[in-house]
Amino acid sequence: MEKSARIPVRMNTLYPIFLKTEQLHFLVVGGGYVALEKLQFLYKSSPNATVTLVSPMVRKETKDFIEGKNVTVIKRAFKRRFLANKNVVIATTDSPKVNKRVYDLCRKKNILVNVADNPPLCDFYMGGIVTKGNLKIAISTNGKSPTLAKRLRQWLEAFLPDETDALLDKLYVYRNRLKGDFEAKVKAMNSLTEKLLEQHD
């Protein structure tokens, strides 16, 4: 009897990090609907982000959204010089040639870059994000199903109580009152949070 072939388990190897966006400078290339979508995603999570937007055309909806935000608009076609002092770049134009040029230049300068809707030309993805005060959870399906990531985000937003942030504040105060070295504090916090979870089983 032949053994059925085992399907190899593949792992999402992306490494999630949480950027201090107020210490970084973002460049968005393009001013259309895709640019608006990326800006909405960024500012929903990081309202203090600093952005430069480069595009000869900026849609009214995009202009309305960035009103009052820390966004500098340059109404010009993309040039290499606009990458100076930028830390993260998001290319959203409808020209594959321009997007590829942005990507290639960023790679040469070691600047993190995301070309919208083109996973091979991305150093990072903008996944689903759940925020409850100071608690933030990032969700990634490794590009397999953005729809599932969206549904998981919605479920977590509904599942996590509004009191989550108040709990975090109390845990922060408790941690600061603990005596002993780092290892002792970790053990005490692990014990406390384990009991909290047991109470909600």
Residue 162 DSSP one-character state: T
For the cut 70, the answer to whether the pLDDT of residue 120 exceeds it is yes
148-171 burial, b at 16+ Cβ within 10 Å, e below that, comes to ebeebbeebeeebeeeeeebeeee
Amino acid 126: pLDDT: 85
Which of 43-47, 53-57, 141-145 is predicted least confidently? 141-145
Percent of the chain surpassing pLDDT 90: 55
How high is the mean pLDDT of the chain?
Answer: 88
pLDDT tier at 194, thresholds 50, 70, 90:
confident
CA nearest to 82, candidates 17, 26, 10: 26
88-91 and 135-139 as β-strands: parallel, antiparallel, unpaired? unpaired
Query: Region 27-56: what's the mean pLDDT?
Result: 96
Level-2 CATH architecture, domain 21-126:
3-Layer(aba) Sandwich (3.40)
The C-alpha angle 150, 154, 40, rounded to 5 degrees, equals 60
Q: Which of 138, 165, 106 is nearest to 12 (CA)?
A: 138
Alpha-carbon gap, residue 54 to 27, rounded angstroms? 7
Report, as an integer, the average pLDDT of 130-146: 86
Range 30-37 average pLDDT: 96
